[in-house]
Structure 1
Amino acid sequence: MGDASGGGMASRIVRFGNVEIQRSKASGSDVTLKYISLLVLVVQNASQVLLIRYARTRETEEMFLSTAAVFWTEVVKLITCILIVIVQESSVQKCFRMMNEQIVRQPMDTLKVCIPSIIYTIQNNLLYIAVSNLAAATFMVTYQLKILTTALFSVTMLRRPLSRLQWVALVILFVGVSVVQLQEQKAGAESPSPTASGAPNSTKAPISPDRVQSPTVGLMAVIVACMLSGFAGIYFEKILKGSDVTVWMRNIQLSVLAIPISYLTMQAKDGAVVASKGMMVGFDSLIWIIVLVYAVGGLTVAVVIKYADNILKGFATSVSILVSCVASVFLFNFYPTNQFAIGTVLVMASIYVYSKYPPGVKPSVHPSHSLPAYSALPTKEPTSS
């Protein structure tokens, strides 16, 4: 990676995953798109957690099935990707011809995404369990462990190096999450029989098992989800590397396989409820909004992420954590302790350092300062990875 010039216009090589693209120096429209990307990333990251937490803790007659929500998320994702390909090809026939050629007629290639399809289905179900058992802000902080797992799988599976500062950032990340979780586990141990709102169950009637919260269960769900996320992300990247199949077609392949897998998961976990009450039990407008946010939101992030460099993505994650903390105070009566604040600051600092200093970006001494100041190379605009 580096800067290049041609035709009198400054340009640079930007890397998105394993693809290197030469782009001209950032224009005013690029800057605008970056800030739009920041807004989209913050809203998507924070809203899905807050919405699920609210849906799982509000007072309702019937609790919706998280397995059914995962199933419908994949259905909506499949429909969305098909529509995107139709728009790109300007033809319905071309879209289904491509699906026939790249999915039906290439069964071995399609089966390559079977593993990530299974993993993503399990991961999505685990995230519902985690958010149901952890405060939204605590979940947001803890879920950043996926940065650690992704980095470790990247090093082991792709032989991708990390800079020294990135290793330091990962250690800080682990310490920060540990501090937050120690506070959460302590609070959970001191809270007798928590209700859906997090308050002690003293005057109300006994609550149903699906509303009882366990910080330990939430922590285990997050840890497993982070490990699955890291492995599936790197595995999926290896599949995309050197393949001429578009990202949208790969997502169609994922959904085609994930739909039956998620349906079987729903039958295995909630088959009795589905048989007696149907898979749509507890569904209302809020649940459908959650389904749309998960399905379309993830695809939207995949599009806007190319306009956001690494530092901006890290900043968006940090802002999302702050938004979740502030919103949790008003929505869920969540009051962060000093220990939680310290752990959160450590996590946010680690995200910033990890994003800003990839391999090849070295600390430099600014001549106007007596203490070393760090700057990205090239200094004009940070690159994306």
Structure 2
Amino acid sequence: MKKNIYIMYVIALLQGMVFYGPIATLYRQAVGISIFQITLIESISLVIMISLEIPLGHIADRIGYRRTMIGCCCLYFISKIVFWKADSFGDFLFERILLGIVLAGLSGVDVSILYLSCTHGDSQRVFGIYNNLCQIGLLLAAGIYAVFIGDNYRTAGLLTVVSYGISACLAFGLKEVTKEKSNGISMKVSLGILKQVFSNKRLILVVLSVALLNETHQTITVFLNQLKYIKVGMSPSMISIVYIIITISGLLGGFSSKITDKIGDKNLGLLVFFSGSIACILLAFTKYAIIAVLGVLILRIGFSILQPLQMKIQNEEITTRDRATALSMNAVIMDIIAIFTNVVFGKIAAVNLQASMVFGFILCIVGFVLYHYSWQAFNYNK
């Protein structure tokens, strides 16, 4: 099954090549989309994801992960075409609706393909490489953007279309990893898996805590950071260079497994949540560009290091053969939290950017407490 892993690695690299990444917010604002509209679109997309997570997880378990991966990669490709041509709120909303369907379909599928294709005990390393290759894709795209594209936003959109088109073609080379299929979509099956998920209180606390960090990282490092950079006097070219640096820092996620071996799963998680809270405070109160960049850097590094660990924990806790469905249920919990945080972040940022960073601090602190009690209450130790 090593072929699957290598194909997934290349797909991660190509899907990481979002050439408009350095100016994602500015791209939308150039056609009149406000920051609140951007976060509103994100929340609508998340509603779509939540409504489809479990049904598409069932379908993936029934038809196989390979077919699901192919279908989602093709729809991903179409969504990038829509984004490239988008010039109104409705266009960007449609693109995000398609993205919501794609992410709901992929939820748990790409991870399951990797987990079932690698040898026992090697999953955290494989997940780390997978996440890193996505970061390398972002880095390559940012470098090309900085050198060749500049202010030509539409060219960045077109190159992203090409990258996702190639990744869709590669998905056809995957081999199926499931030996037996689910019996189909069943309310009884769903309730049974749901009961298993919620009976694992430690896992629920981990999922909740990670969701808070994920959304703080996503909102600040993708959308609000650009507003902060401009506020502290950074030029578009400087923002592009910083984007490359931040992307490179994400590669440190590849050391997640080694760091875990040194300090343990619990300490690693607590360190990430604590550093995330410090980063938000720095971003809230600094007037200096270097400190703003440092804050975003800390958030990105912490997120990148925690991702392989939380992916490993989720997969190791699954006891049902309907792996994609179980992972989708975890994702639903995260999505529900994301809807709330996106709207709040957008509302607060529209009034006061500093206050939105303080909100991120609060989320990280709550995440720290939840992650701590997930270990304290159930005495779980790898």
Bucket of the pairwise TM-score, normalised by the shorter protein: 0.3 to 0.5
Higher-helix-fraction structure = 2
Q: TM-score normalised to the size of structure 1?
A: 0.40
